[in-house]
A and B are shown apart, each in its own frame.
Chain A
Amino acid sequence: MEQERNSYRVNHLAQLESEAIFILRETAAQFEKPALLFSGGKDSIVMAHLARKAFHPARIPFPLVHVDTGHNFDETIQYRDDYVAELRAELVVGLVQESIDQGRVQEEKGAFASRNALQTVTLLDTIEENQYDACLGGGRRDEEKARAKERFFSHRDDFGQWNPKNQRPELWNIFNGRKHHGEHFRVFPLSNWTEMDVWQYIKAENIPLPSLYFSHKRDVVHRNGSMLAISDVVVPQEGEEIEKDVTVRFRTIGDMTCTGAVYSDASDMDAIIQEVATARQTERGTRADDKRSETAMEDRKKEGYF
C-alpha cells in the first residue's frame, strides 16, 4: 500500500498538463474547424507546447491564429515565426490594420489611443472568414475576477457574445460542445492554472520564451499608473515622466500601447519564479486596459473579447 501511494502520485503540474491535453483533444474531436489563438505571450506559448504534446507524433491538427494589432513588439513577431516553423504548424494572421483600412473599425484618437478594443472586431472577422467553430485561448480563471466563472468550453452566440447566464455546467470530464449553426465556442485549457503554475511549467518543460519576459534595458514613459515602452506608437506627452535606460521586464505581452513593464532584475527563469512568488501586484495589474473601470474585463468579454 505504501508503495502504491508513492508510485501513482501525480503532482499538480502533471495534473494540470493532463487536464489541458484532455481539453485540447476534446476540442479537436468535438469541433469541425478549431483554431488556437496565439499571441506570442507565455500562456499561448504553453498552449502550443501542450497541443504539440497532445497530438505527437502528428502535427497539431489546427492552425495557430494571431490577431496582430500592428503594435506588437518586434521580439514577439520574431518569436512567433520561429516557433511556428519549429512546430511545423499552420499560421493565420488577422491584421487590425486591415480592419481599420476597410473601415470596419475606427481607430481611437489622441495620445493615449489603444488598439486593444479594435482587436475584438478583427478577431471576430477572422473567425467568421475562416469559419472557425472553436477558438482555443490561454485565458486563466485566476487572471481577473470576471474570469472566475468562465467555463472550459465557453459558449458564444452567433454575434460572438458571451452571456454569463447561458453557459453550460461542466461536470467531471464531460464537456458539451454541441452547437447550432453560426454559434461557436471559446475553449480555455489553462482555466485551472495560475500564473505561478504557468511559470513553473515553463521551467519544468524548459520552454523557450521571448526575450521581453527577461530583464533588459529600455526607455519608458509613466502613463496612468503603467510603465510603457517608448516606441513609434507610445510617444511621451508633455508633462509625462520619462525614464531612460531602466532595467525592466514584462509580465504579460500584448499591444505596446497598453502592456506595462515592471522594474526587474530577473534575467532567468528561477529569478522570474522568485519574483512571481513575491509579487505584490496581480499580473493584470500591469495592464492599462483593465484599469479603465472596475468591471472593464467583464464589459469587454460580453462584446466578444477573448
Chain B
Amino acid sequence: MSHTDVPYDEGYLDMDLLRFTTAGSVDDGKSTLIGRLLYDSKNTFEDQIEAVEATSKKRGDENVNLALLTDGLRAEREQGITIDVAYRYFATPKRKFIIADTPGHIQYTRNMVTGASTANLAIILVDARTGVIEQTCRHAFIANLLRIRHVILAVNKMDLVDYDQEKFDTIVDDFRKFASRLDNLVDMTAIPISALHGDNVVDKSDTMPWYEGPTMLYQLENVYIGSDQNHVDARLPVQWVIRPHSDEHHDFRGYAGRVAGGVFKPGDDVVVQPSGFTTKIKSIETLDGPVEEAFAPLSCTVTLEDEIDISRGDMIAKPNNPPEKGQEVEAMICWFSESTQLQPRGKYYLRHTTKEVKAIVQEVRYKVNINTLRKIEDDKNFGLNEIGRVSLRTSAPLHYDSYRRNRQTGSFVLVDAQTNETVAAGMIV
C-alpha cells in the first residue's frame, strides 16, 4: 500500500485543516479505527506496514493488527494500552487532519480533556454489542464541556451484530436522548462501521445497504467548520513587543500576538487593557510587507498610532466590544495532578492567554459525576480527573470572555507554585 494513487496538484498547497479527537476504550477498537483510516486513505508507508506485519506475526496475531500502526512508546506496547494523548496526521486531497488520539478509560479523563481542547470534532466510539454505556456519556459530556461542536457517533463492530439496522437505530436514539442535554453539540452524525473490516470507514460498505449516510472519511472531509472561529469579538493578547533598535526601524514598536477573535484592520479604534487607553491601529506588519487585515487564528504584528506603554499579557480589543474584566471568576475545571489535590484557599499561578497572575481557589461549588452528570455537593475534595465548578480570585484583573464565547480568551490553566506542574485546566463560565 502506498501513496501512488493519490494525485498531486497545486491544490495540495491550499487544504483545510481539521483537528479531531477520538475517544473510546481499548475494546472499542479505537486504535483499529485510526489504523484503518490511515491505511485505507493511503497514508501509511511500506516500512510502517512491514514493521506492523512483523510485530503481528511475532505476537501470533491472526490478521495484520492495524492498531499497531498507532502504538507509541515501548511502555505502552508492553502493557497494550495508550496512556497519553498521541497525535497522528494524515491528509486527503481535500483536508489535512490532526488526530488527538486519547485513551477513554475514566482514569484518563484529563487526557481526553487535553485532546478535546484543540479539536473541532470528536469521534465517539460505541461497541454495537453493548450500545450507549456510561463511558459513552462521559465522552459526550467532555466533548460538550470543551465546546466541540461536531460529533461523529461511530457505532463500531457492526460485523458482530450481523450489520443489524435495528441495533444501530436503538443506539442512535439512546445517544440522542442523552445528547439533547448537551448544548454545545450542534451537529451529530451517526455512522455504522466495522473498523476491522473497513465498512463505512473510508469506503462505503455493501453489507449495510440500509445506511444511506456518509462514510466516516467523507464526513471528516466535508463537515463545515468555517463558523467555529469567533470573527466577531476582536481580541489580540500581546505576546511580545518588537523593538528592532536599528537605524532603519528606529522608532518601530510592534505588538506581536495571535489573534484570539475577531478582525483587526488599519484605522480600527482599539482599546488596550488593562491601561484602558484608546488609539487606532496604524499598520499590520509582516516580512512580506504590510497587510490589510488580521483575524483569528493568525499570528500578526500590529503598530499603533499613539505611543502607549504596552507589554506582554496586555489585551488589544475594540472599545465598543471589550472583554469582561474582573478578579473574581467562576469556572469549570478539570484536575490534572496525580500527586496533589486541589487545596482549598491554595495559591496557584493562573495562566490565561499570554498573562500570568496568582490565583486562589475560593470555593469548590460542586463536582460533577461525569458518568451520571449529577452534581456532587457534599464532597469538595478535588483530585485527579475530577471535574467541577469553582470560584477563583486573582491577584490582578483578567480580561476574559466566557469559554462558551471564545475558547482562547475563556480558558486558563493552574500551575502549582512549588512544582511548576500544570495541575488544572479551566473554562470560564
Q: Could you tell me which A residues sit within 8 Å of B by CB distance?
A: 4-5, 8-19, 21-22, 25-26, 28-29, 52-59, 141-142, 145-146, 148-149, 164, 167-174, 176, 178-180, 191-192, 194, 196-197, 200, 203-204, 273-274, 277-282, 285, 294-295, 298
Pairwise interchain contact B243-A58, C-beta atoms closer than 8 A: yes
A277-B6 contact, Cβ under 8 Å, with A18-B258, A164-B73, A173-B258: yes
**19 A-B contact pairs sorted by A residue (CB < 8 Å):** A5-B226, A8-B229, A8-B263, A10-B17, A17-B299, A29-B312, A29-B354, A57-B242, A58-B243, A58-B246, A142-B89, A146-B72, A164-B75, A170-B114, A171-B114, A171-B118, A180-B420, A196-B12, A298-B73
Chain A residues near B8 (CB-CB < 8 A): 273-274, 277-278
Pairwise interchain contact A178-B244, C-beta atoms closer than 8 A: no
Pairwise interchain contact B408-A173, C-beta atoms closer than 8 A: yes
Alpha-carbon distance A204/B11, docked complex (angstroms)? 12
Chain B residues near A180 (CB-CB < 8 A): 420
A280-B413 contact, Cβ under 8 Å, with A54-B299, A194-B89: no
Any chain A CB within 8 A of the CB of B248? yes
Alpha-carbon distance A13/B108, docked complex (angstroms)? 32
Q: Which chain B residue shows the least CB distance to A6?
A: B226
Alpha-carbon distance A223/B427, docked complex (angstroms)? 55
Alpha-carbon distance A170/B16, docked complex (angstroms)? 23
Q: Could you tell me which B residues sit within 8 Å of A by CB distance?
A: 2-4, 6, 8, 12-17, 45-48, 51, 55, 70-75, 84-89, 91, 95-96, 98, 110-111, 113-114, 117-118, 226-227, 229, 231, 239-240, 242-246, 248-249, 252, 254, 256-258, 260, 263, 285-287, 295, 297-299, 301, 312, 336, 349, 351-354, 407-408, 411-413, 415, 420-422, 425
Q: How far apart are B286's CB and chain A's nearest CB, in angstroms?
A: 7
Q: How far apart are A210's CB and chain B's nearest CB, in angstroms?
A: 22
A149-B86 contact, Cβ under 8 Å, with A21-B299, A22-B299, A278-B6: yes
A191-B87 contact, Cβ under 8 Å, with A8-B295, A170-B114: yes
Cβ-neighbour of A285 out of B45, B71, B95 (below 8 A)? B45
Alpha-carbon distance A142/B244, docked complex (angstroms)? 35
9 more CB-based (< 8 A) A-B contacts, given A8-B263, A54-B299, A194-B96: A14-B298, A18-B299, A21-B299, A25-B257, A55-B242, A145-B73, A149-B87, A168-B422, A192-B87
Alpha-carbon distance A213/B3, docked complex (angstroms)? 21
Alpha-carbon distance A298/B51, docked complex (angstroms)? 16
Alpha-carbon distance A279/B44, docked complex (angstroms)? 10
Cβ-neighbour of B297 out of A10, A29, A192, A274 (below 8 A)? A10
Q: How far apart are A134's CB and chain B's nearest CB, in angstroms?
A: 14
Cβ-neighbour of B298 out of A10, A178, A285 (below 8 A)? A10
Pairwise interchain contact A178-B258, C-beta atoms closer than 8 A: no
Alpha-carbon distance A41/B227, docked complex (angstroms)? 38
Chain B residues near A164 (CB-CB < 8 A): 73, 75, 84
Chain B residues near A167 (CB-CB < 8 A): 84
Alpha-carbon distance A58/B312, docked complex (angstroms)? 17
Pairwise interchain contact B226-A11, C-beta atoms closer than 8 A: no
Pairwise interchain contact B258-A282, C-beta atoms closer than 8 A: no
A192-B85 contact, Cβ under 8 Å, with A56-B301, A178-B415: no
Cβ-neighbour of B87 out of A25, A141, A146, A169 (below 8 A)? A141
Chain A residues near B421 (CB-CB < 8 A): 168
Q: How far apart are A87's CB and chain B's nearest CB, in angstroms?
A: 11
Chain B residues near A25 (CB-CB < 8 A): 239-240, 256-257, 299
Pairwise interchain contact A15-B17, C-beta atoms closer than 8 A: yes
A179-B420 contact, Cβ under 8 Å, with A54-B256, A279-B3: yes
Alpha-carbon distance A29/B15, docked complex (angstroms)? 31
Cβ-neighbour of A176 out of B249, B252, B312, B420 (below 8 A)? B420
Q: How far apart are A43's CB and chain B's nearest CB, in angstroms?
A: 15
Q: How far apart are B270's CB and chain A's nearest CB, in angstroms?
A: 19
Chain A residues near B295 (CB-CB < 8 A): 8
Chain A residues near B96 (CB-CB < 8 A): 12, 194, 197
Alpha-carbon distance A196/B254, docked complex (angstroms)? 32
Alpha-carbon distance A167/B422, docked complex (angstroms)? 9
Q: How far apart are B313's CB and chain A's nearest CB, in angstroms?
A: 9
Chain A residues near B114 (CB-CB < 8 A): 169-171
Pairwise interchain contact B226-A57, C-beta atoms closer than 8 A: no
Alpha-carbon distance A247/B295, docked complex (angstroms)? 46
Top 5 A-B residue pairs of the complex, sorted by shortest distance between their CB atoms: A171-B117, A58-B244, A178-B420, A12-B17, A21-B299
Alpha-carbon distance A25/B16, docked complex (angstroms)? 25
Q: Which chain A residue shows the least CB distance to B88?
A: A148
Alpha-carbon distance A96/B180, docked complex (angstroms)? 62
Pairwise interchain contact A56-B17, C-beta atoms closer than 8 A: no
Q: Which chain B residue shows the least CB distance to A284?
A: B47
Pairwise interchain contact A22-B2, C-beta atoms closer than 8 A: no
